[in-house]
Amino acid sequence: MAESLFTWQALGTLSGAALLVFFVVQYTKSVLDRVIHIPTDLYAVAVSALVLIGATAALGQPLTWANVALAIANGFLVAAAAGQMANKVENPPGAPKTPDAGM
């Protein structure tokens, strides 16, 4: 059972962090939209950076400016991967395409 749960080591990887960010953003973006209007992509970058900073600290690495800057930079990659997950959920491969309303 332990292999199926998040670990700090897993959250330090692109796939593990992207999966957590996908879930956090999907569950919280509608609530956030009621309070403050921020583009979902930027929200995902912020969540990604926080996840990576947390994983860095939890794995015993110092939170130097270099590690924090790297976590923020990698946050863009994680957010992009989480966005692709969201895109696949909303438009699964092989699903029938719906015609454009303008056609």
Whether the per-residue pLDDT at 98 is higher than 90: the answer is: no
Average pLDDT of the residues of the chain:
89
Q: Is the pTM of this model over 0.85?
A: no
What is the average pLDDT across 62-74?
96
Q: With bands split at pLDDT 50, 70 and 90, how would you rate the model's confidence at 100?
A: low
Q: Which residues contact 14 (CB under 8 A, 6 or more apart)?
A: 74, 77, 78, 81
Q: With bands split at pLDDT 50, 70 and 90, how would you rate the model's confidence at 1?
A: very low
Pairwise CA distance, residues 66 & 31, whole Å: 33
